[in-house]
Amino acid sequence: MLAAATAGFEGKKCEKLSSVSLRESDAYVSLPALSSRPHSNVTLLLSTRQRHGVIVYHGVDEHLAVELFLGRLRVSYNIGNYPVSTMFSYEQLSDGTMIAVYWAHSVGP
């Protein structure tokens, strides 16, 4: 008989982290390198009243950054080109409403 997985974990032996809750203002999650997996995705559900903050950052010289900037979602993407590609959301997201940020990563065919 299999025991039920602990909340936030899944898999036959509860070996896969599937969700985490962060309640402290300086808390963060470090994920393993996505380049080691051919296909992966990260979905973040968050609610905040903060107008500034990093949501996702990946890379060093070449990067993907998802952050709150002046209450809007800002995505910057640098793959060695100049200038860095930057996109902003139209809507203010710092009003406490739940939002979803979805990041998909695929390597190869």
Stated pTM of the model: 0.67
Q: Residue 70: its pLDDT value, please?
A: 94
Domain range list for the chain: 37-109
Q: Could you give the residue ranges of the DSSP H alpha helices within 1-109?
A: none
d(CA 98, CA 106): 27
Q: How confident is the model at residue 24 (pLDDT cuts 50, 70, 90)?
A: confident
pLDDT tens-digit profile of 68-80? 999 999 988 887 7
CA angle in degrees (0–180, nearest 5) for 31-86-44: 35
On whether the 37-109 domain is CATH 2.60.120.200, my answer is yes
